[in-house]
A and B are shown apart, each in its own frame.
Chain A
Amino acid sequence: MQFMLLFSRQGKLRLQKWYVPLSDKEKKKITRELVQTVLARKPKMCSFLEWRDLKVVYKRYASLYFCCAIENQDNELITLEIIHRYVELLDKYFGSVCELDIIFNFEKAYFILDEFLLGGEAQDTSKKNVLKAIEQADLLQECCMTDTVSQSFSMV
């Protein structure tokens, strides 16, 4: 996978994960163009499109578009499953996830993504394992904060 973008139906970016080195300017350009292209697609169209020299796989979940750019030799159908798995993870973590959860807790969405994918590939195919790891890391975060007395409960 080269990158993953999450954006709303109005085209607002909610998450961007890049697995290839690009300048900020290039990232902005790609994001803008791709978001436009995907939003222009009609509901009856398939989830795949060729864009520049990449394959783009996208799926809409409620008000959010999940969009991945994959290489030519990657399997589009399994990428749909990867997207679905990520959504399931978010859902389990936040409890019936909605766009607002991702807006207000974007850093957590990133943490979950980074526990599921590394360098664009799935690290663990077990939902349980990924969620357990996140849980533990969250605990660790809380632990280290309660160590120092003067900290308030939520550091962030």
Chain B
Amino acid sequence: MPAPIRLRELIRTIRTARTQAEEREMIQKECAAIRSSFREEDNTYRCRNVAKLLYMHMLGYPAHFGQLECLKLIASQKFTDKRIGYLGAMLLLDERQDVHLLMTNCIKNDLNHSTQYVQGLALCTLGCMGSSEMCRDLAGEVEKLLKTSNSYLRKKAALCAVHVIRKVPELMEMFLPATKNLLSEKNHGVLHTSVVLLTEMCERSPDMLLHFRKLVPQLVRILKNLIMSGYSPEHDVSGISDPFLQVRILRLLRILGRSDDDSSEAMNDILAQVATNTETSKNVGNAILYETVLTIMDIKSESGLRVLAINILGRFLLNNDKNIRYVALTSLLKTVQTDHNAVQRHRSTIVDCLKDLDVSIKRRAMELSFALVNGNNIRGMMKELLYFLDSCDPEFKADCASGVFLAAEKYAPSKRWHIDTIMRVLTTAGSYVRDDSVPNLIQLITNSVEMHAYTVQRLYKALLDDISQQPLVQVSSWCIGEYGDLLVSGQCEEEEPIQVTEDEVLDVLEGLLVSNLSTPVTRGYSLTAIMKLSTRFSSINRIKKVVSIYGSSIDVELQQRAVEYNALFKKYDHMRPALLERMPIMEKTASNVHTMFFGGYVWYYFFTLNCAFLSLAIPPMTAYSKNGLKIEFTFERANPNPNIAVITIHATNTTEADMTEFVFQAAVPKVSHDLSVTFVLEWPSQSPDLNPIENLWRELKVRVAQQQPQNITALEEICMEEWAKIPATVCENFVKTYRKCLTSVIDNIYRNFWTIKRT
């Protein structure tokens, strides 16, 4: 039986393969040889075979059949075997498979081995991939090694303990005694790993944190020695003594000093010292400064120190090294809320970073710029940010646009500026604007009453240029629908009014309806806008025609709207002006549900939902029952068409007083396209107030009371008499005012109709 080929020879051979197929063939051949070798339980060459398997695994080929072999290698007495075996275990085994538990015993034995390098292998493997079960079993051994005087093992045990604690936090207590004099070690390796262990414990447990706070003076001393001591060749990196240890100590100090005045004070001096004395020409020095700044900002440091920290960051921003600039921007972003004024001083440098070539730096600079915008710098900042919006990568545009809207809302110096800014965003980055900005913008425009004419004119002109950006088109359609009359009558004060006819406006809106660029949502907006213009324009016939055409559109949403609008023209034409009149100023926040009722009315609101998924029978539910107002939902299938679910809302007022200002809002999810909301006004038989006969009864009561009947017979006589006496004119009057009364009731209800939002 020839010896299996050596690892390096295999590597050489595989690298000569010219195609993927050739490589695969070689690999398969070798795998087969390895498999038979494993089957023969060949102890001599097991190590070699597993090593080859690991190489093939790195190339991406399956190697799971080598898992058990790794375990056999680990159990071997030969150091070579163990080395490869543990490596294989770390690469091939994972804690999800039970196989890995077989390692536990071997590791336990090796942790107690006479050779420290074997112990080291075991500690390394446990600390790298030990599962919770393994950690539980072996924590005791690790704890023992943490107390050894052998620094080679002690440092490894410390990091292994970190892993154990991460996997099984409850075991943290058990390592506490061993940490007692970890920091008195001279060996930097042990010191470094000990600080890591202490950091882990303090981060996980507030009790540990309290316990270890007393170490602050010792840590400060160690740090001081590192900085003050002369050149130490063993730990020197570019003239700085053990920067890794310095950084870890600074991080531990940060955790210990957080929200504790005494500790923070104890470290003030050393932080100032590190901040001022560290050499900044190389990355190492800057790494330490960076950690120092993070610590200063996080603990309760005095203001002088904080200013020092921010100035360091300011200097970082001017550094040639882009890594340093990146790190500065990240840190400034963290501190901009707490030290706003100090960061403001570096605003111009930050804004310059918007032009950096690096994507990460640009993003940080953008976030920071938005954080720095305030009432004083809004105009200048917005100029820069809009310029950035124009030229930035698509991945930024959505966030930038949202940021601009937010900043404009908070700090706009004037309404016109605000609207101009919004227009600029919509025209340059319109397709990246988020969905929720459209309703927000509409609300903003509605509330800027004096700017209506200007806004609609500008939006109209933008539409003439470009109809591809949907949010812009949607907002424009909506505006034209609302304020089209202002557009046509040329009422704009802010700029030269344009001459445009009703037909031209309708051309544009109809163009949106047929354009391929328009989404269904946009088409909905356009159709509604056209409909609204029926009360503002005189060319009603044209509008009627458009609406009736879309009554047979294949887009269900559009069809539904068109059908309802058609109905408005035909059956409810008297309601049309009221329904389509100008929107009132909207409140941004959802109002509380008060109720508007007339006496003990029950309003029925019928909702027809063409949703196929409503297949289950749903029991009725009480949605709200408080202070005499009860709202109940019942669900049933419509009788002729079982695909339609009818949701009925019963609202009852059981108090004696009237309830006023009932606002009903329905938010409809996008999923259900087919929602039809129909108001049907009905009232039950026993409800008095809106029945005109009530007024007549009152009239009779008054007349009868004047006669003062003394007994029942007299009462009957007088009633009959007075009834006959009531003139026809009185009745006529009641009928006339009744129409007005009804209209105003309907007005109030239909006002709420339009607050049905699509979410």
* Residues of A that sit less than 8 Å from B by CB: 13-16, 19, 21-24, 28, 42, 44-50, 73, 75-78, 80-82, 103-104, 106-107, 110-111, 114-115, 118-119, 121-129, 133, 136-137, 140-141, 143-145, 151-152, 154-156
Cβ-neighbour of B80 out of A45, A82, A115, A155 (below 8 A): A155
Most buried by B among A111, A140, A151: A140
What CA separation (Å) do A128 and B323 show in the bound complex?
Answer: 29
Q: Is the CB of A106 within 8 A of B58?
A: yes
Q: A140-B79, A145-B80, A154-B6 are in contact. Are A125 and B189 (CB under 8 A)?
A: yes
Q: A118-B160, A124-B155 are in contact. Are A77 and B323 (CB under 8 A)?
A: yes
Selected A-B contacts with CB under 8 Å, 14 pairs: A46-B360, A78-B244, A78-B287, A81-B284, A81-B287, A106-B55, A106-B58, A121-B159, A121-B196, A124-B189, A125-B245, A137-B120, A141-B79, A152-B3
With A23-B94, A122-B192, A145-B80 given, name 13 new contacts (CB 8 A): A21-B131, A22-B94, A46-B361, A49-B360, A78-B244, A78-B247, A80-B287, A104-B8, A104-B11, A118-B160, A123-B159, A124-B189, A143-B79
Report chain B residues within 8 Å CB of A121: 159, 162, 193, 196
Q: Is the CB of B235 within 8 A of A75?
A: no
Interface bin, chain B: 35 or more
Q: Does B242 interact with chain A (Cβ within 8 Å)?
A: yes
Q: A46-B322, A77-B286, A78-B243 are in contact. Are A118 and B128 (CB under 8 A)?
A: yes
Q: A123-B155, A154-B6 are in contact. Are A77 and B51 (CB under 8 A)?
A: no
Q: Is the CB of B283 within 8 A of A80?
A: yes
Q: Mark B384-411, 1 if CB is under 8 A from A, else 0.
A: 0000000000000000000000000000
The 3 closest A-B pairs by CB, nearest first: A77-B287, A124-B189, A46-B322
Report chain B residues within 8 Å CB of A24: 94
Q: Does B137 interact with chain A (Cβ within 8 Å)?
A: no
Report chain A residues within 8 Å CB of B245: 125
Q: Is the CB of B127 within 8 A of A140?
A: no
Q: Is the CB of A82 within 8 A of B156?
A: no
Report chain B residues within 8 Å CB of A21: 94-96, 129, 131
Q: Does B412 interact with chain A (Cβ within 8 Å)?
A: no
Q: Does B117 interact with chain A (Cβ within 8 Å)?
A: yes
Report chain A residues within 8 Å CB of B323: 46-48, 76-77, 80
Interface residues of B in 1-53 (CB under 8 A from A): 3, 6-8, 11-12, 15, 44, 47-48, 51
Report chain A residues within 8 Å CB of B286: 77
Q: Is the CB of A46 within 8 A of B358?
A: yes
What CA separation (Å) do A150 and B528 show in the bound complex?
Answer: 93
Q: Does B473 interact with chain A (Cβ within 8 Å)?
A: no
Q: Is the CB of A156 within 8 A of B51?
A: yes
Q: Is the CB of B242 within 8 A of A118?
A: no
- A126 CB to closest chain B CB (Å) equals 5
- B531 CB to closest chain A CB (Å) equals 48
Q: Is the CB of A155 within 8 A of B54?
A: no
Q: A106-B55, A110-B87, A126-B234 are in contact. Are A144 and B160 (CB under 8 A)?
A: no
Report chain A residues within 8 Å CB of B163: 119
What CA separation (Å) do A99 and B231 show in the bound complex?
Answer: 33
Report chain A residues within 8 Å CB of B516: none
Cβ-neighbour of A125 out of B51, B131, B244 (below 8 A): B244
What CA separation (Å) do A24 and B87 show in the bound complex?
Answer: 16
Q: Is the CB of A107 within 8 A of B87?
A: yes
- A103 CB to closest chain B CB (Å) equals 7
What CA separation (Å) do A50 and B367 show in the bound complex?
Answer: 15
Report chain B residues within 8 Å CB of A23: 94, 96
What CA separation (Å) do A111 and B120 show in the bound complex?
Answer: 11
Q: Does B60 interact with chain A (Cβ within 8 Å)?
A: yes
Report chain A residues within 8 Å CB of B129: 21
Q: Is the CB of B287 within 8 A of A75?
A: yes
Q: Mark B210-239, 1 if CB is under 8 A from A, else 0.
A: 000000000000000000000000110100
Q: Does B291 interact with chain A (Cβ within 8 Å)?
A: yes
Q: Does B746 interact with chain A (Cβ within 8 Å)?
A: no
- B159 CB to closest chain A CB (Å) equals 4
What CA separation (Å) do A23 and B60 show in the bound complex?
Answer: 14
Most buried by B among A78, A103, A111: A78
What CA separation (Å) do A126 and B245 show in the bound complex?
Answer: 11
Report chain A residues within 8 Å CB of B84: 107, 156
Q: Is the CB of B159 within 8 A of A119?
A: yes
